[in-house]
A and B are shown apart, each in its own frame.
Chain A
Amino acid sequence: MSTNAPADPLAALGPDERAALSAVAERLIPAAHGMPSAADVLTDERLRFVLTARPDLVEVVQAALRPGLGDDPQARLDTLSRDDPAALGALQLAIVAGYYTDKHVRELIGYPGQEALTIRSWELPPYLEEGLIDAVLARGPVWRDPATGTRAVVSDAPRTYAERFAAQREGADDGHDGA
């Protein structure tokens, strides 16, 4: 399992680290094109959600936000990119995950989440209706017959799906001579 985290993972981040996180979040995902900034979206609730799901991120994110890297968010990102890409990756993931698990952000991008959908396996698939499968069948077998080393020849291979269906009902030969 992932490394143990404190009961409240946010406790690991002091005011300086939170300020640095907001600055980086604003830099990476600013308000634009009708979307809010990550700095605004990344509330305690969102950040707690991310770090509870991924307690292994706490220590790495904390390191990426250490005060020693200065106040300029771009300089921090550049330093991490050069010296500690793993910490940069963890920081980006925490910000992106906090942002895109926000309900309002999901509504704005038109993403409903990984919904459960009902499949209609009893309906005729659109590719059959559109004749796309017939185009594949019309070209004949694609497999290479080991007996000849060349593309297989199946004399009575169906050329449309309707033919294939009819042949199946009549119990057609399997087309292989047993070689």
Chain B
Amino acid sequence: MATDPADVLIIGAGASGGVVGLRLAEAGFKVVCLEQGDWLDRADYPGNKLDWELKARKDWATSPNIRGLAADYPIVEDDTPVSPLMYNAVGGSTIIFAGAWPRALPSDFRVRSLDGVADDWPIDYFELLPYFYRTDRQFGVSGLPGDPAYPPDTEDAPMPPLPIGAAGMKVARGMTKLGWHWWPEFNSINSTPYDGRRPCVQRSTCQSGCNEGAKASTDLTHWPKTIGLGAKLITGARVSRIETNDHGLATGATWIDRDGEEHLQEAKVVVLAANAIGTPRLLLLSASARQPDGLANSSGLVGRRLMMHPFANVAGLFEEPLTSWAGQFGDLIESLEFYETDEKRGFVRGARWGLAPTGGPINAALPSRAGEQAWGPEHHTHVKTHLGHGANWGLFAEDLPDEANQVRLSSSITDSSGIPAPEIHYAMADNARRMLDFHIERAKESMDAAGAYKIEVDRLMRYSGWHLLGTARMGDDPRTSVLDRWNRTHDVPNLYVVDGSCFVTSSGVNPTSTIVSIALRAADHMVETRFEQQVPA
């Protein structure tokens, strides 16, 4: 069944799709978005209910393989120590992301020039800066201006910082003793009423959806405005392939509804915003006689160079009660003290640290991060000493690109629509292992300086693949990149990729702020070049 043609078809209603949809709708484009998930009602989110910690481990797990909801597709992950995480709904993974909002740093865009590894980006930090400011305003960011880990800003975060809590203060004092960098984290979580949304209430359940609507998710921040401008958002729409014509131009996409009925959505321009697993999956699914190795894949790099930020956790336990079950989960404070390369350490690049709350009593008894279980009479002592007495440093290691780390199509597993599932092949590099080992030791020193009497470490957390990056990298050379500097595929002039697939290197920071800023820049360019855009007849 064919539907009305669109000017622009966006596949995926998450972070980047939301940003591009709004910009194009504001410019008068006829926008259609296909989203395999549904609209969610935040009254249903479990964070303000007694069964929160139970549901957070199943229907609200960050792994689609654990959730297994109708909107999810399976991911074959037998050949990776890190599981990819995501959410499929209007808002995409912003529904369950923590809300931490650091930007990539200037050096992140010049890794080859500075450190002799990987590749430089075709764009840089300063080119992105105006887009950082605009997306900060769109999403609503709370933060303390003046962080000396970044170049000075000309525009402050739109809201004052969120509190850092007793745990944040404890660790900040320890960092001060050591003379190490720390800063209150920038979060896309309201500290005041903003853009019609309420402020954070510190419930710390950000990863199970925000009941208050205080955390930015594009079902709140972007799509209502976009739809108000005339865009059409179709939910329960699972795209099976991008269609092309004899001239090599994209003509739209075929999608399957929940009843199994197939539809065709025609469009002049197609924008992929399906994350760095879903996007290469679709490009590979869209192979044709003209492009037998997958759409836009003349470089052979579609699906390759997958980066996921290997993640370790260092937990400190303190005698004093810190009520550390409360506070924004999107980080209390951060440190970039060891972010930049120092070759004496035995590796290149670095890691960002983010300090997070530690969860409720079920997590104290059955820790999902670092820590052990205790049974028998000592169970009670264990829970009482852990619950509200901890602080967690999460360590995000920069993951350098490796073509062997990749997304392929499974030959045996399909989703509920019969579409081949993505299959992940990923190994942690020696550089990243050395990097995490170094950072774990420094984070232990930080906890020690803060007065922790016990420190527990998870050296590589399996369910930590929040940051999916690099599987359709941008670059100036079509032989060595999938996208140009404006996120347009080199091979198909009316096909764009605006999600984290475009990353050339991973940086070592939570990527959403950078992803959406790049997406907004791409959308601006689409608007500016609308009359030169090649489209199907």
Chain A residues proximal to chain B, CB less than 8 Å: 1-2, 27-30, 32-35, 49-50, 53-54, 56, 89, 92-93, 96-97, 100-101, 106, 109-111, 113-122, 125-127, 130, 132-133, 135-137, 139-146, 149, 151-152, 154, 157-158, 161, 164, 168, 172-176, 178
Would you call A29 and B379 a contact (CB within 8 A)?
yes
Would you call A111 and B387 a contact (CB within 8 A)?
yes
Q: State whether the Cβ of B169 lies closer than 8 Å to any Cβ in chain A.
A: yes
Q: State whether the Cβ of B388 lies closer than 8 Å to any Cβ in chain A.
A: yes
Would you call B381 and A136 a contact (CB within 8 A)?
no
The CA-CA distance from A34 to B383 in the complex, in Å, is 13
Which residues of A sit under 8 angstroms from B172, Cβ to Cβ?
Answer: 127, 132
Chain B residues proximal to chain A, CB less than 8 Å: 47-48, 50-55, 57-59, 68-70, 105-107, 109-110, 113-114, 124-126, 142, 144-146, 148-154, 156, 159-164, 168-169, 172-173, 176, 179, 181-184, 191-192, 199-205, 212, 321, 325-326, 336-337, 339-341, 360-362, 365-366, 373, 375-377, 379-381, 383-384, 387-388
The residue of chain A having its C-beta at the shortest distance from the C-beta of B203 within the complex is A114
Known: A133-B183, A144-B106. 20 other contacts (CB 8 A): A27-B376, A28-B375, A29-B380, A32-B379, A33-B380, A33-B381, A93-B54, A109-B384, A111-B361, A113-B360, A119-B163, A121-B159, A121-B192, A136-B148, A140-B148, A142-B149, A143-B149, A143-B150, A146-B107, A154-B152
The CA-CA distance from A135 to B146 in the complex, in Å, is 13
The CA-CA distance from A34 to B69 in the complex, in Å, is 41
Which residues of B sit under 8 angstroms from A168, Cβ to Cβ?
Answer: 145, 156
Would you call A157 and B148 a contact (CB within 8 A)?
yes
Would you call B340 and A144 a contact (CB within 8 A)?
yes
The interface centre, meaning the residue of A101, A139, A144, A172 with most chain B CB atoms within 10 A of its CB, is A144
The CA-CA distance from A120 to B183 in the complex, in Å, is 19
Would you call A141 and B148 a contact (CB within 8 A)?
yes
Would you call B107 and A126 a contact (CB within 8 A)?
no
Which residues of B sit under 8 angstroms from A113, Cβ to Cβ?
Answer: 50, 360
The one of A34, A115, A135, A146 in contact with B114, judged by C-beta atoms closer than 8 angstroms, is A146
Would you call A144 and B366 a contact (CB within 8 A)?
no
The CA-CA distance from A142 to B105 in the complex, in Å, is 11
Which residues of A sit under 8 angstroms from B144, Cβ to Cβ?
Answer: 125, 133
The one of A2, A125, A133, A143 in contact with B59, judged by C-beta atoms closer than 8 angstroms, is A2
User: What are 7 A-B residue pairs whose CB atoms fall within 8 Å in the complex?
Assistant: A32-B377, A101-B54, A109-B387, A110-B388, A142-B337, A142-B339, A154-B151
